[in-house]
Every structure is written in structure tokens, then in C-alpha cells.
Amino acid sequence: MLIFALIVLVILMIGAVAISRSISGSQLTIGNLGFKRDLTNQGERALQVAMDAVRNSGALADAMTRNTDLKAANYKATMLPANAQGVPTALLSSTEFDTVGTASNDIAVTGMGVTIRYVIDRLSTATGTCTPSTCAMANQTVFGGGSSEWINSQNSSSSPNNPNPSAVPPQAIFRITVRVDGPRKTQSFFQSTFTTD
């Protein structure tokens, strides 16, 4: 009987250790997910800064300014080289970043140990004015309802005497890539494309 009680006690102890490890693993996973979610929220700061620079009265608001590189705004008028995951290599190396932007544009979140670095590039193969042959362009017709679709079918933009009044003018596509460095050497990358309008 005593041997049976000892065997049951050993089994219960093994079960208690397994539950303890399971709880510790879950807490670690939840903590890592919390860090990642916070880095996502912090990365949105850089997205807003970049969009304000291009769309509002920022350093890149003028279309002529966007035709050439502007290091002071972390901007490249041509598409940046990227790794296999699509992350511009300028965000992977400080030396390469120094050729594209300035570290003074980094956004530091004091008290949290978070630093946000970003680059903006135009999806283009050449500097200068954007054309469909050198830039990725967003020029899709906006479909808002039945009448809009009818106008598109009746007024083809390929017909020289019958312009399509609902066609959106071609717009260059810009890409912002953000690297967020957090506590415990956590790193996250985010990317978005947008147009100026």
C-alpha cells in the first residue's frame, strides 16, 4: 500500500511540474505577443509622419521635390533595393541607411525603449518626372455605382474625342517601410504603399 501511495505521489508531482511549465510558457508567449502589438502601434507613428510629409505641407508636398532624392526626409526617388522579404536593405544596415536618410529623423519613444526608423521610396526605376514607363502608377477608374460603370463603358478613355470623365489621373505610388526597435532587442518591420491624393 505504501508503494502504491508513493507512485501516486510521484505522478502528482510530475503533473504539477508539467502544469507549472505550461503556465510559464503561456505567460512568455503572451508577453511576446504584447511586445509585438505595441511595436505595431508605435510603427503607426512613422506612417503618419511620412504621409504628412508627402500629402500636407511637409518637405515632400511639392511634386517637383519628389522627383529627386531628399535625404533630409529619408526619401529616395527610386525604388530602394530590398532583401528577399521585401524589406529595403537601408533599414537593415546603418551604413546603407546613412546614404538614404538621417538618424535625426528617427522617432524615439522615451521611457519605453522604442526607436522607429523609416524610409520612403517612390516605386520608380528613374529619378525625374514619373511616367507609366518608369513608375508604378495607380490609375484605376473609381467605380462608385451603376451610373459610374455605365459612363466607363460608354466613354472609353482610348477614344480621342470622347474622354472618360470618371477616370482618375495617373498617380505615382510611394512605399514607406518602417523598422521599430523595441525592448529586449525586439524588431518589427511594417510596409505600406500610398499615393499623394
pLDDT at 42: 85
Range of the domain at 155: 139-169
- 89 and 182 part of one domain: yes
Amino acid at 45: R
- 52 and 132 part of one domain: yes
pLDDT at 111: 85
- 120 and 189 part of one domain: yes
pLDDT at 90: 96
pLDDT at 29: 58
- 85 and 155 part of one domain: no
- 163 and 192 part of one domain: no
pLDDT at 31: 56
- The vertex-186 CA angle with 180 and 187, nearest 5°, equals 40
Quote the DSSP letter at residue 71: G
- 132 and 143 part of one domain: no
**Cβ partners under 8 Å of residue 181, min gap 6:** 114, 115, 116, 117, 187
pLDDT along the chain (197 residues), means of 10: 82 79 61 72 86 85 92 95 94 94 92 91 93 84 46 50 59 92 86 86
Whether the pTM exceeds 0.75: the reply is no
- 102 and 186 part of one domain: yes
Is 31 inside any structural domain? no
